[in-house]
Every structure is written in C-alpha cells, then in structure tokens.
Amino acid sequence: MSSFQVIVGSMLGGSEYVAEACEETLTALGHQVELHFEPEFAQILSKNQTWLICTSTHGAGDYPDNIQAFATDLENSEQDLSSVKFLTIGIGDSSYDTFCYAAKKLNKLLLSKGCIEIVSLITLDMSEDIDPEEQSQAWLNENKDHL
C-alpha cells in the first residue's frame, strides 16, 4: 500500500473531477489518498510520499493559477527530492500547439529534481470525445503493479 498526494492544477474544474476519480480508484486498490486543490509545496513535501500530478494547461501552455506557486517552489527547491515518486496526468486540447504543456513541464521539472517517475505520463485530449475520468481510472488500473 502507498500513500498518494494528488496535486491538482485546474482553472475550470475539469481536472478536479479527474483527480476525484483517481482518488476513488486508488482507494479501491488499497492506497491512502489526499487531494490538494490548492497545493502547497512545503506541506506536500513534508509527507514524502508518492505524488500524482493531475493538471490541465491554460493560456498558451501555462500552468493553471492554482498550481503556479507549487511549480515555482518546486523549481526553487534545493532539497533532495530523490525519495519522491510520481506520475502525471495531463489534461488538454490538441488544437493548441502547447498541448498538455503544463503537465509536460511539471513532469520534466520533477525529473530534473531527481524524483522517480513510476508510470510514464498520460495525456488526455479533450478535443476528442473521451471520458477523462474513465480513462484515468483505466490507466491507474492498468499500471496498478507499479503504484
């Protein structure tokens, strides 16, 4: 069993529903889960567990406002983050050149800080007729042995 900190980046609320669907699946798989809709880096870091990043992209490849401070604090952090395990869900729209850029940026940043990616990033394209909650849940279940 792992303990997950779910770090949510959302402007319009869609990614919050995806995060809640992930919480349901992770709990059903026997894990502990804490959701962060206003993620605070220092507080989340003190828990030293597995991080599930679940973020949309806004502007022209920008972070949603609520996750901006988390990303800045992570970027400026000089702490050893090599014990942090993570996985990332990007929610975006492929009609933008900067498709899921916020999730990709955060993923790269975590890797550059020495964090361990336990499942490769998934991107969900809202320009297609998809159910992002269902896709995220299926992705977690497919990768349950790595969680």
Ligand X SMILES: Cc1cc2nc3c(=O)[nH]c(=O)nc-3n(C[C@H](O)[C@H](O)[C@H](O)COP(=O)(O)O)c2cc1C
CA distance 67 to 146: 26
Note whether 136 binds ligand X by CB under 6 A: no
Note whether 121 binds ligand X by CB under 6 A: no
CA distance 6 to 86: 10
Region binding ligand X by CB under 6 A among candidate stretches 40-48, 75-83, 86-94, 112-120: 86-94
> Which residue's CB comes closest to ligand X?
92
Q: What is the DSSP letter of 124?
A: E
* Near ligand X by CB under 6 A: residue from 6, 41, 49, 64: 64
* Near ligand X by CB under 6 A: residue from 13, 75, 111, 114: 13
Note whether 39 binds ligand X by CB under 6 A: no
Cβ-contact 40, 57 below 8 angstroms: no
CA distance 138 to 63: 25
Region binding ligand X by CB under 6 A among candidate stretches 45-53, 56-64, 74-82, 113-121: 56-64
CA distance 94 to 76: 30
